[in-house]
Chain A
Amino acid sequence: MSAANTGTDTNEDPVAKQVRGTVVIDTEACKGCDLCIDVCKPDVLQMTTTVTNGRGYRFPQLLVGCTGCRACADVCPDFCFQVYKFDEPKTWTMADGLK
């Protein structure tokens, strides 16, 4: 399990993480069902808590560490995910953000 799962990451965490993919999320299409959260193997999807979309549903947000495995897209009943796999894996630190 990556360090991300300890729940202690902050923006200052210098640990570099491999990111092999990313997703674009159609947050307005989401109905807040949570199915994507459980299937995400690197555990990098997190539902909003207080923010909701135009229809009042909470929606997922992507954290650092996506592998582009597309499990989220496969189980989403509302076709909310567009999944990308980088040509070359990128290395991030939390402070850098995605480059």
Chain B
Amino acid sequence: MTQRRPDELVILPSESAPTDAAIVADFTPDLIDVGEHHLCPGCGEPIAIRAVMDAIAFLGLAERAIAVFGIGCSTAFSNNLDVEVLQALHGRSPSVASGVSRVRPGLAVFTVQGDGDMANEGLQEVLHAAARGENIVCVMLNNGVFGETGGHLTVTTTIGQRTKNTIEGRNAADHGHPMRIAEMLAQIDGVGYVARGAVNDAGNVARTKRMMVDAFTAQQQGLGLSFVEVLTMCPTGWFIPTDEAPDYLAQTIAGTHGVGVLRSSLAASGSVPGPDEA
């Protein structure tokens, strides 16, 4: 929690750009066109999208990448990236990406979808694409709600999680059980890399960036379908203040959807340094 300080502490002015220093982080990443977006304060999705774009930039894939966006809050970025983008319909990104990948083999084709898009509307698509071993990276931004349409439960909503239509908290008898998507995909022969990350603290962000690099590396090596699920904060959908969302994610969401690498065909020695560590 933030400590309250006396106002007479030295506060450095915001414009104090030094000349005797090196930039280590520069506002909006290069592959995101416009930094300003209208997603909610404290939303985790831009952080996750940044991790994807940083990985693409790090691996030098920008002019060989095609993103296939689903429909959801993250659609706010589909016309805001400096890589080629094909917008798909709700749930359809994996089949669309499969079509792109089959006629443009070798390109870094990837999807960006929310949990409502991929796990609800489009569950069969990602499972089938994985079984086919399509050479695409599927990214699922998981906040356990349909954010764009107002915050209703999805297939990944955790037991006890309050959403617009589970206002007392999800319970299995009335609302069914959550599904663990990364675990389902890890079971399918045809995947090359399956991992679940999170963006609720700096350590998780750094690990998620490495997962993205590994996912795209596996794809470029033709190891099958790569899947990275990223747990993202949604304080609006969770009915909590923005500064409580990281802890809520750690305790409530990550309790059901555990972070970690679930399956990897990458050579053990091939662990690539993250984009910020090179």
Contacts and interface: CB of A to CB of B under 8 A. Distances in A.
B10 interface: yes
Interface stretch (B36-44, B113-121, B179-187, B254-262): B36-44
Given A77-B44, A79-B46, A81-B25, A38 B17 contact: no
Nearest to A97: B10
Given A9-B9, A24-B14, A33-B242, A77 B25 contact: no
A82 B2 contact: no
B3 A78 contact: no
B11 interface: yes
Nearest to B6: A10
Interface residues of A, number: 53
B159 interface: no
A37 B2 contact: yes
Given A7-B3, A43-B3, A85-B21, A75 B202 contact: yes
B15 interface: yes
A57 to B, nearest CB: 7
Contacts of A39: 201-202
Interface in A38-57: 38-39, 41, 43, 46-47, 49, 57
Q: Which of B39, B45, B205, B235 has the most CB of A within 10 A?
A: B205
Contacts, number: 157
A63 interface: yes
Interface in B4-59: 4-12, 14-18, 20-29, 32, 35-37, 39-47, 50
A35 B243 contact: yes
Contact of B46 (A49, A77, A88): A77
A82 B23 contact: yes
B63 interface: no
Contacts of A26: 14, 27, 35
Contacts of B28: 79
A65 to B, nearest CB: 10
Contact of A34 (B2, B21, B24, B36): B2
Contacts of B15: 24
A94 B8 CA distance: 10
Q: Which of B36, B235, B245 has the most CB of A within 10 A?
A: B36
Q: Which of B4, B28, B245 has the most CB of A within 10 A?
A: B28
Nearest to A95: B10
Contact of B16 (A5, A10, A22, A29): A22
Nearest to B39: A77
Interface of A: 5, 7, 9-11, 21-22, 24-27, 29, 31-35, 37-39, 41, 43, 46-47, 49, 57, 61-64, 68-71, 73-88, 94, 97-98
Given A9-B9, A38-B201, A57-B41, 6 more contacts: A24-B14, A39-B201, A49-B7, A61-B11, A77-B42, A86-B18
26 contacts: A7-B3, A9-B5, A24-B14, A29-B36, A33-B41, A33-B42, A39-B202, A46-B11, A57-B41, A61-B14, A62-B12, A69-B202, A74-B25, A74-B202, A75-B47, A75-B201, A77-B42, A77-B44, A78-B46, A79-B32, A80-B27, A82-B23, A82-B26, A84-B17, A85-B24, A86-B18
